[in-house]
Amino acid sequence: MQYLLMIYSEENGWNQMSASERQQGVAAYQAYTESLKKADVLVGANRLQQTNTATTVRLVDGKPQVLDGPFSDSKEQLAGYYLIDVPNLDAAIAWASRCPGAAHGLMEVRPVWTAPYEAPSVA
Amino acid sequence: MAAAVNADGAARSIAEAVARRSYGKLVALLAMRTRDVAAAEDALADAFAAALADWPERGCPANPEAWLMTVARRRAIDGARHRRVGDEVTNQLTILADEIDEREAGALPDRRLALLFACTHPALEAAIRTPLMLQVVLGLEAKTIASAFLMSPAAMSKRLVRAKNKIRAAGIPFSVPEREELPDRLAAVLEAVYAAYAEGWTDPLGRDTERRDLTGEALFLAHLLVELLPEEPETLGLLALMLYAQARCDSRRDAAGDYVPLSAQDPATWNAPMIDAADSLLRRASAFNAIGRFQLEAALQSAHVHRCRTHRSNWDEIVQLYDALFAIAASPVVAVNRALALAERDGPQAALDALEPYADDPRLADYQPYWAARADLLARVGATAEALGAYDLAIGLERDPSVRRFLQRKRIELSSARGWIGTS
């Protein structure tokens, strides 16, 4: 099954770090990504730019309404994600708990939607 | 006609016996690969209905469990095709069918342990784990479970459906966790079983028959766990704890239905073989040298039994056991019980001092035993006005009428002994 591991963290934390702390942070993510690749479970991953770059769009009366800022105003924001393919939720939770994001923020684990009961695609 | 009725009755009672013994086993097998508990339960319900129609006419099969499994598995495949759920599920069910057919009749593999771990998975809401386990492993109806947990049947059904849906959709595995995760995950299974027992225990007179059944169901699950995990000291500890409690179950009320506290119970009325069984389970557990919450709680019960039987004070040992319990499972409830033991060893003031840090703990604000304990301790140090106030709270919070009467009597004794008419 595919699971999206979403990293939620406080952006200020990152901004307040020293250059060497940031370097260490990046290295931890690189090592984690490497271990996902080695285990052959990584489907995709991305780090996102900070929420001051975010734009919210929705249709109001059929016209796009565009607003500056992220959808949710909460302190913890989506900072990036890993998409992994593992046998079950326990394996997904195990990978999520190893992610550096679990230490400096929190991880949300969500299974990827498949049509009800549909066979997982044979990759 | 009479023969038909008899055959019908025989079929029904065999079906019921199999349901009791094998429900969880069959659900575990049917849902193991698809993780679709609800579909497994539907297929099994169909199979039981088919059994009630078929067995009176053709006689009960030699292996009712295997018969039910064959029919249920066929229904599950039909159901999967009907819902057009894709070849994968149908294939999984067919593989399952082949795996089972290769085995000799009567040797269905027992995957209930995996099912128990799935039902108590930490990704499920904590409050639904016990109800889910009771339904999926034992086949209890949602309305029975709802009444035991003081919830409306509709609300209970909804939450059970949501939990089953999460098991399927989120990919919660049907497996026994790896060694390093086992202790935590097993603790959740044991807690769920104990919660079922505690729910049943709160109705000592068995007025609510459905709830009294819950202690029996919980004991069944605890026995099952000991059978499936005989090398885990905490499973042995849990069963020991439950047997100590069960052995004293009927002694909690006198002939008039009034509450009898432990210190006033006649040990001769306790179920001695059950206590012996608990003793030997606890000995078996301690041989593993891995102490845990349930072993300590069972050891406490054992110490109470010993004191009541021999009339020899052992409060020092009991306080030490509570200290150990508090060290691994600190909670305000443990603190209250420890304080009561302390009162017997060091006097009521020592107990009140020990409870001082919990004076404003919101977790105890509506916990009846805390207020009853406080009332008793305050009365013993002569703080009558405060004691009466605490009794009022304890009485107001108690659900069980006979315990309420007991507390009311103690309150009246206190107020008349000291010439108090009332506080307000």
* CB within 8 Å of B19: residues ≥ 6 apart: B48, B139
Domain A2-111 top-level CATH class: alpha beta
Among A111, A116, A119, the residue with its CB nearest the CB of B171 is A111
User: Residue B208's pLDDT is what?
Assistant: 56
**Domain ranges for chain B:** 2-108, 111-229, 313-424
User: Residue A121's pLDDT is what?
Assistant: 45
Return the percentage of chain B with pLDDT > 70, whole number.
Answer: 89
What tokens were used for B108? Answer: 């269905």
Q: Which of A90, A108, A114 to mutate to test the interface with B (most CBs of B within 10 A)?
A: A90
Give B51-89 pLDDT, tens digit per residue: 988 888 888 888 888 899 999 999 988 888 777 666 666
Strand partners, A65: A58
Q: Which residues of A touch B (CB under 8 A)?
A: 1, 3, 87-90, 92-93, 111, 115-120
Give B318-360 pLDDT, tens digit per residue: 999 999 999 998 999 999 999 999 999 999 999 999 999 998 9
Distance from the Cα of A81 to chain B's closest Cα (Å) equals: 18
Cβ B170–A89 below 8 Å, yes or no?
Answer: yes
pLDDT < 70 regions, chain A: 115-123
Domain B313-424 top-level CATH class: mainly alpha
Give A13-40 pLDDT, tens digit per residue: 888 999 999 999 999 999 999 999 999 9
- Summarize the confidence of residues B17-42 as an average pLDDT: 88
Q: Give exposure, B217-236, as e/b (b: 16+ Cβ within 10 Å).
A: bbbbbbebbbeebeebbbbb
Q: Give exposure, B162-193, as e/b (b: 16+ Cβ within 10 Å).
A: ebbebbbbbbbbbebbeeeeeeebbbbbbbbb
Among B36, B80, B171, the residue with its CB nearest the CB of A89 is B171
**Domain ranges for chain A:** 2-111
At B13, phi and psi to the nearest 5? -70, -35
ipTM of the modeled complex: 0.76
At A2, phi and psi to the nearest 5? -95, 140
At A76, phi and psi to the nearest 5? -85, 130
In this predicted structure, the answer to whether residue B420 has a pLDDT above a threshold of 80 is no
Q: How many CB pairs under 8 A join A and B?
A: 42
Nearest CA in chain B to A3: B170
Q: Which of B34, B87, B88, B179 to mutate to test the interface with A (most CBs of A within 10 A)?
A: B88
> Chain B, 110-129: which have a CB under 8 Å from a chain A CB?
121, 123
The Cα B228–Cα A32 span in angstroms is: 37
Average pLDDT value for chain B: 87
Among A63-67, B34-38, B81-85, B374-378, where is mean pLDDT lowest? B81-85
- Summarize the confidence of residues B209-237 as an average pLDDT: 86
Minimal CA–CA distance to B313: which of B286, B291, B343, B334?
Answer: B343
